[in-house]
Structure 1
């Protein structure tokens, strides 16, 4: 139970429906859709479209999305992969011949085909009641009439000022008066509003064919890109079944590769061999075990996981709990495993949305343009900020995640859904690039091992062992930091907090919903 003497947030409770997002305006727009009779998917798409305008550093129609949906919170779970592919003519030799041993993150080569719009239409057609014409209304209004910049958005805008100064069309679209936006500024993007209107009227074809696609291709080819109109016109969303594992008495579900959700599942399989309840939630031992599990899981991912349409990914073998047994048996509480340093190509930004509607349709939805402000490339006339998700490829022939024509990069987006006895109990997610699998494990173990409510679980201080260094939030106690150093961890204190998260817990006994939203972002949970 929350200590009301201390600063913090209460959990949000409702009977009919609930949404949690990283921005209050998006949560409000989603709640309006729900009150009008829209489904969880309708609300998620409306919120995501609006976030693409009012959180331009994190998401937008020039990016990708993934979703897990369980109708009526029972039975089959649908996994939607809305990630884009490299241009069909892309190949590693082309880049190596030009001296590129990694994909430059602010170049046209970092731009994979945006997958979000096709995914929205695919998901709404299957699980929604409204069309894109209604769901894009809040986003169109914000773009055309203007929106007020929120504090966390302004924080990110300032930190990315140098990147935006050097971008393509970013000075025109994203640096009003030549400066980064600050909290309280009103920003208008009429070109983006016009583009959204076209999508609202004509659907995905307005984006992937015709004038809008031609403008994106012209922009990218004008700065050296390999993209063609065919690359856009032939883009499709993949509908699959989720992958999962058990933890305590619950089942935990993720989208399959090329999504990296398998990383989180391997972490859970490792931690399930330890009794975390022996240690405090803010203890050296808990943070150490989480770091070791992450290091093992990330090493597995970097060696095995890529686009299964191009390489074999043996998911069943990886998810057998004995897969990491050799490493688990060697984990020590007084030192670190001797592991190769896994260095993923990118550590991007994200937005996450969770919704449960009055019919208990559960939707776990995540969207991103990869790094903050993506590639820093805005289409010439249509105002679309393009992702740099292709920066997640390796330029390394023989590596599973090596760039190739029509291939999807190893992603970072992972929506999560927790079920018990086949029924959804928590659609949730933790955004924040490579932190996502670690953050999801951190939140879930806060709940299931330490008895936190969803808000307490999200609030708890965080750490990420990344590229050989344990990155720790300022809320991690000094004694824990010193204890981690004593057993061999290199640590740094972070300037920016790790990610953000949202969760909705379905209390089946009481027939109520309990929501939480991360104070590391501007957002909130709302219900009615």
Structure 2
């Protein structure tokens, strides 16, 4: 139990249904949908689309998504890949010939075809109850009327907003100035797009005037996108990957997401007695940091488009984890893994919903960097992701940019299962941090017995190529000890990510946790 003398928040408890996400309006909308008779998939879609208006620097209809979900009465976890592909004419060789070593972050070359809308339409038709028109109505209303800018969104806007260009400045700033807390953000052009999708489905986005608006913006900046690339956008169902950690099973979306990295990380950590360590101490942080370096090095070598990820079984095998664990020196830090590309980001939304039938949905949705590519269409103001910056230009690499391929993605939805039952849909936002965030959240619960909210609130650390990023929640002596072990300790200006989770207890009780690092909450009824 938390100390009620201290600042903090309690977990949320309910019995009928629950949503945890990063903005209160989206959480309320999801609960409204459940109370109207919608299921968890309906509620997650409605909330996710609205988050594009509440947190426009994080996500939007020009982005991608990944989903894990169960269906009523069935504990089988299913996956949907809603990530887009590079245009058919994309070429790593052409970019190398222009002198590029990485895909330019804020260029049309970084824009893959957005696939989230196709995913929303597919999931609604296959697993929803209320129909797409009902699910999009809240986002249409708020896009027209406007949403007050929340404090965390206002904090992000100046940093992220510098990437806006051309029509992006017109639609996502006040004459070039970032919006501040309490100002009203409106997106009437996106409201019109959503109205058309509600009437006519995915074709209203991927064909005709809306697609032409996006193509015009991209082609004017040198993009090789064609109408056929948009018309061919398609999400697809796939099978999750999983790994056991003590009493729990971590279930992740398969590549091209980086979820396998979280499984490998926990497999490495299983070789150490974390439960005997101080959960906020230097010993645990050091072992976790070293395991992170090794797991991310494997990620950078192997994870790519599903058709090009050839060594997934090797990455997930216990033997691989054992060999990597043996490389960790408890008394000395090793060098960090080199980044796959320079495309490190922190900008994502996550929403999870559980309904009265215990259908569980774990849903992550992003435009990659803050305000994506910074490129928006002229008429409708659709901000386009720069997920193509997740490709490498290294010749022959599995994740090399090529036409029709999906890049490696950092965004990952997660689920925890115990004794054959799904017990916690969850997600940890924060770009590359997400795999470490998943492993740390699971360890907080399994190794240290933390409740959901405490596991989310606990301070975080992340070993990346810049050094060991340490949130301010750790004691000064912890940072000093880590420095003595050889870590380059960095206190980042921003918190590391943001988590949302719903624990489904054996009794059926729902326990929600929502990260104070974001503006959101867990709501139930």
Q: Structures share a fold, TM > 0.5?
A: yes
One of 219, 222, 225 as aligned partner of 1:224: 222
Residue equivalent to 1:358: 356
Q: Which residue of 1 aligns with 2:338?
A: 341
Corresponding residue SS for 1:378? coil
Structure 2: how far apart are the matches of 1:92 and 1:201? 39
Q: Deviations over 1:183-213 (max 9, x none)?
A: 1101222111111111111111111111101
2:327 aligns to what? 330
Give the aligned partner of residue 252 of structure 2: 254
Q: What is the CA–CA distance in structure 2 between the aligned matches of 1:206 and 1:216, rounded to whole Å?
A: 13
1:209-244 deviation digits (Å, cap 9, x = unpaired): 111011111110011000000000011112011000
Following superposition, the deviation at residue 485 of structure 1 comes to 0.4
Note if contact 2:248-2:446 (Cα within 8 Å) is conserved in structure 1.
no
Note the C-alpha offset of 1:26. Answer: 0.3
Query: For 2:242, which of 241, 244, 253 is the aligned residue?
Result: 244
Question: How far apart, CA to CA, are the structure 2 residues paired with 1:372 and 1:339?
Answer: 25
CA distance in 1, matches of 2:280, 2:340: 27
**2:109 maps to which residue?**
109
Aligned to 2:142: 142
Instruction: State the 4+ residue runs in structure 1 displaced beyond 4 angstroms.
Output: none
Distance 1:505 1:375 in 2: 35
The corresponding residue for 1:42 is 42
Query: Take 1:189 and 1:520, find their aligned partners in 2: how far apart are those partners?
Result: 25
**How many pairs were matched up?**
524
1:69 aligns with 2:69: yes
- Equivalent position of 2:173 in the other structure: 175
Deviations 1:469-497 (A, max 9, x none): 00111112211111100000011111110
Q: Distance between the aligned counterparts of 2:341 and 2:467, measured in 1?
A: 13
2:51 matched to which residue of 1?
51
Where in structure 2 are the equivalents of 1:93-104 lying within 5 Å?
A: 93-104=93-104
- 273-282 vs 21-30, which deviates more? 273-282
Kindly state the Cα deviation for residue 126 of structure 1 after the two structures are TM-superposed.
Answer: 1.8
The question of whether the paired residues in 2 share the 8 Å contact of 1:85 and 1:406 is answered with yes
- 1:316 pairs, out of 283, 304, 313, with 313
Separation in structure 2 between the aligned mates of residue 328 and residue 285 of structure 1, nearest angstrom: 15
Q: Offset of 1:343 from its aligned partner?
A: 4.6
Q: Contact (CA 8 Å) 2:189, 2:380: kept in 1 or not?
A: yes
Following superposition, the deviation at residue 330 of structure 1 comes to 2.6
SS state at 1:293 partner:
helix
Once the 2 structures are TM-superposed, how far is the Cα of residue 502 of structure 1 from its aligned partner?
0.2
Matches within 5 A, 1:123-522: 123-164=123-164, 167-309=165-307, 311-337=308-334, 340-348=337-345, 349-508=347-506, 510-522=507-519
SS at match of 1:386: coil
Distance in 2 between residues matched to 1:143 and 1:254, nearest whole Å: 32
Kept after mapping to 1: 8 A contact 2:84/2:114: yes
> d(CA) in 1 for partners of 2:171 and 2:226?
24
Q: Is the 8 A contact 2:243 2:249 kept in 1?
A: yes
Give the CA deviation at 1:338.
Answer: 5.3
Q: Is the 8 A contact 1:27 1:526 kept in 2?
A: yes
Residues of 2 paired with 1:350 and 1:187: CA distance? 18
Give the drift of 1:274: 1.1
| 1:413 Cα deviation from its structure 2 partner | 1.0
Question: Please, what TM-score do these two structures have when normalized by structure 2?
Answer: 0.98
Shift of 1:313: 2.2
CA positional deviation for 1:74: 3.6
Separation (CA, whole Å) in 1 of partners of 2:211 and 2:302? 34
Distance in 1, matches of 2:511 and 2:441, equals 15
Moved more, 155-164 or 110-119: 155-164
Provide the TM-score with structure 1 as the length reference.
0.97
Greater shift in the superposed pair: 116-125 or 384-393: 116-125
SS at structure 2 position matched to 1:251:
strand
Q: Is residue 73–residue 424 contact of structure 1 (8 Å, CA) maintained in 2?
A: no
Give the whole-Å Cα distance in 1 for the aligned partners of 2:512 and 2:309: 38
Contact 1:195 1:383 in 2 (8 A): no
Secondary structure of 1:34 counterpart: helix
Distance 1:416 1:55, change over 3 A: same
Question: Retained in 2: the 8 A contact 1:248–1:448?
Answer: yes
* Residue in 1 that maps onto 2:29: 29
For structure 1, the 5+ residue unaligned runs are none
